[in-house]
Amino acid sequence: MQQFKKIVTIGLWCIIAVATIAALVAAMQKQENALCKGAIVTIDGDNQMLFVQEKDVLTMLNKVGLVKGQSLGRINMQKMEAVLRTNPWIANAQLFIDNNRYLQVHIQEREPIARVFTLQGNSFYIDSSGKTLPLSEHVTARVPVFTSFPSNRATLSHNDSIILNDIKLLAKYIVADSFFLAQTSQIDILPQGEYEWIPTLGNQVVNIGNTDSLEAKFNRLYSFYKHVWAKQAFEKYERIDVRYNGQVVAMRRGAQPPAADTAKAMLQLQAVMQQLNQVNNNDASTYVNDKPKTIDTVVNSKLKLTTTTNTTNNKPTGTQPKAVMPSKNKNN
């Protein structure tokens, strides 16, 4: 008797399992035969400047077989995702059918961090990974501009790849800093692998050097800005050099640029300038700790400022900035 009950129980469970599987198969066949109501496109990116437009996404999907009203079973979502990723502005694409029989299309857009102009006159964007991106006919990104990139080729040489990586590092630092992002007009690429930063406010050229120790260099530059901005003496300087550790070299307008290329040469130049100062008053000035008479004030207690004065008595040109020095914040 017990054996009979056991057989009946097993039989009932088998029938239930078969019925469940049959119901699932029927539901799947019904789903596959159901008709697609359309596509809903969602684009994740900067809402102020979308480089990928919904109509462009739908056009690409229609070219690979997406037709409103076709059966869901004929939609090849893997193929559609692969086609969407051929767009250089699309970082990722995910597709699925929702319960209402709509094709959901989720697009992750690449965000540019710099625009690069080549020596040949062309330009392109790069994102935070260093991937090159073409210009868009829909929108222009407000990002730092780099000029004089040496190559116009799709496949870069080793040296050009190093320069592009430097651009990525420099651009990532600038876009993460609200003050320097607003204050950046452009960055010029020099042949020797160094960079000159052109500010939006002011008429100076800032020599950054290479991309080593960017945070320290921009911190020195910001300290210098605080110093000259408070005195409204910004336009007195023509060139600013932040390449050397612990100091800022500022050349007044009309002065000859220092011929130093190393920190050691800068120290030698300072000694010569001190001797010249004894012969010709106000011809040049250098300080380390004490406040000198020929410059406004010390930038900070740890930073040394070297200034080269104008020996031809030319007056500074341009308009002195009237704005209050903005605060320096890092963007998260």
Per-residue pLDDT of the chain (332 residues; tens, 9 = 90+): 666 666 767 766 777 766 666 555 444 444 455 888 888 999 998 766 789 989 999 999 888 877 777 788 888 888 999 999 999 999 999 999 888 889 999 999 999 999 999 999 999 999 999 999 999 888 889 999 999 999 988 889 999 999 999 999 999 999 999 999 999 999 999 988 899 999 998 888 999 999 999 999 999 999 988 887 767 667 788 999 999 998 999 888 876 655 544 455 455 445 545 654 554 444 333 323 333 223 333 344 345 666 555 444 433 333 433 444 556 666 54
C-alpha dihedral sign at 273, 275, 279, 282: positive
Say if residue 52 is in the same domain as residue 183: no
- The pLDDT value recorded for residue 293 is 28
In-domain check, residue 10: no
Where a domain ends, among 136, 154, 175? Answer: 175
- The pLDDT value recorded for residue 288 is 31
Say if residue 166 is in the same domain as residue 194: no
Query: What is the spatial order of strands in the sheet that 205-209 belongs to?
Result: 132-133, 123-127, 112-118, 145-149, 184-189, 195-199, 205-209, 237-241, 247-252, 304-308, 284-286
The token pair at 215 is: 């945070």
pLDDT digits (tens, 9 = 90+) for 269-328: 455 456 545 544 443 333 233 332 233 333 443 456 665 554 444 333 334 334 445 566
In-domain check, residue 23: no
Say if residue 85 is in the same domain as residue 47: yes
- The pLDDT value recorded for residue 75 is 84
- The pLDDT value recorded for residue 255 is 67
The token pair at 25 is: 């198969």
The residues, ordered by sequence, that sit 6+ positions from 262 with a Cβ below 8 Å of its Cβ are: none
- The pLDDT value recorded for residue 326 is 56
Say if residue 99 is in the same domain as residue 160: no
In-domain check, residue 19: no
Where a domain ends, among 140, 175, 210? Answer: 175
243/194 Cα distance (integer angstroms):
10
- Can you state the angle between helices 158-175 and 214-231, rounded to 10 degrees? 50
Say if residue 131 is in the same domain as residue 210: no
Q: Which residues of 290-320 are buried (b: 16+ CB within 10 A; e: fewer)?
A: eeeeebbebbeeeebbbbbbbeeeeebeeee
In-domain check, residue 11: no
131/43 Cα distance (integer angstroms):
20
Which ranges of the chain does DSSP label H, i.e. alpha helix?
Answer: 2-33, 54-63, 77-84, 158-175, 178-183, 214-231, 263-279
Say if residue 171 is in the same domain as residue 185: no
Say if residue 145 is in the same domain as residue 237: no
The CATH number covering residue 86 comes to 3.10.20.310
In-domain check, residue 21: no
Q: Which domain holds residue 213?
A: 178-332
In-domain check, residue 30: no
- Using CA atoms, how far residue 146 sits from 100, 115, 244, in Å, is 48, 6, 23
Say if residue 166 is in the same domain as residue 189: no
- Look up the pTM and report it: 0.69
Say if residue 201 is in the same domain as residue 292: yes
The residues, ordered by sequence, that sit 6+ positions from 323 with a Cβ below 8 Å of its Cβ are: 201
Say if residue 185 is in the same domain as residue 153: no
113/127 Cα distance (integer angstroms):
5
Please count the structural domains in the chain. Answer: 3
Say if residue 171 is in the same domain as residue 193: no
In-domain check, residue 302: yes
Say if residue 154 is in the same domain as residue 84: no
Where a domain ends, among 88, 109, 130? Answer: 109
